[in-house]
Structures are given as C-alpha cells and as structure tokens.
C-alpha cells in the first residue's frame, strides 16, 4: 500500500513540475511592454476619471452612469467598435449623496465627520434638502 501511495505521489509531483516548465522569456517583448507601461500608461488618468471625476458608483447611481458613459467613449476612442452599455437587469432606484452635514449641539456645538449609509433616508424630524 505504501509503495502504491509513494508511486502515485511521485507521478503527481512529476506531472506538476512539468506543468510549471516554461520557455525562456522574449527579452525584446518584455522591454517593449515595460516601455509602454512606464512611458505611455494611462492608468492613473483613467483611475482619476473613474473615481474622482465620476464620483461614487453605487448601482444605478448617476456616478455609475457617468463612469459607464466615459468608459464607452474612451473605448471607442481607443478603436473598439462594439463598445456599448449593456443592461444587466432591474435594480430599483439609484442613490447619490447631494449634501451631508452632522453636528452635536449638547453639551456644546461640534461638527462630526460622517457619511450616510447608501440608500438611507433623512432621519425623521430632520429636513431633507434636495
């Protein structure tokens, strides 16, 4: 039994080690990829537009629609011919923070750094400015 287990283990180890064998990398191609990434990358510009410019991207929110529209236009500008927004199903209402402020008044006035939870309403008794 032990010999069969040992043989099975050795065969598996041989098969796994063969799977990890690779050809030598093409140094010219690696240099071209490195040059493209280091000198012509649009990663930071794209990330800035999708996060800071578009704003929060909750499902069905105006920020998500801004980011999707930008992505479709960017892909078309980069030569993609079939770039389009596709529906993914019904979700319900969207949500976006318009204005947010919180403070305590007793025993003294002090503002609070707070962010509302998505899809929540203004607390009862407080005004909801829009």
Give per-residue pLDDT as tens, 39-97: 999 899 999 999 899 888 888 888 899 999 999 999 999 999 999 999 888 877 777 88
CA distance 1 to 63: 63
State the residue range of the domain holding 60.
43-81
Contact (CB, 8 A) for 58 and 96: yes
Does the global pTM surpass 0.85?
no
* Domain assignment of residue 26, yes or no: no
> Is residue 60 a part of any domain in this protein?
yes
Instruction: Decide if pLDDT at 118 tops 70.
Output: yes
Q: Is residue 47 part of a domain?
A: yes
- On whether residue 99 sits in a domain, the answer given is no
The total number of structural domains that make up the chain: 1
Q: What is the pLDDT of residues 3-16, one digit of tens each?
A: 766 666 666 666 66
β-bridge pairing 110-112 and 102-104: antiparallel
In a domain, 49, yes or no: yes
SS3 110: strand
The token pair at 66 is 């801004």
Please indicate, yes or no, if residue 114 is contained in any of the structural domains. no
């Amino acid at each position: 039994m032990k010999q069969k287990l040992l043989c099975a283990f050795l065969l598996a180890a041989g098969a796994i080690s063969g799977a990890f064998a690779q050809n030598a990398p093409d140094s010219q191609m690696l240099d071209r990829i490195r040059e493209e990434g280091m000198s012509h990358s649009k990663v930071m510009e794209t990330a800035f537009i999708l996060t800071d410019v578009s704003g929060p991207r909750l499902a069905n929110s105006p920020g998500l629609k801004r980011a999707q529209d930008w992505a479709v236009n960017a892909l078309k500008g980069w030569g993609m011919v079939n770039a389009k927004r596709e529906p993914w199903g019904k979700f319900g209402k969207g949500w976006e923070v318009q204005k947010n402020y919180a403070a305590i008044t007793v025993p003294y006035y002090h503002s609070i750094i707070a962010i509302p939870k998505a899809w929540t309403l203004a607390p009862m008794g407080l005004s909801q400015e829009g």
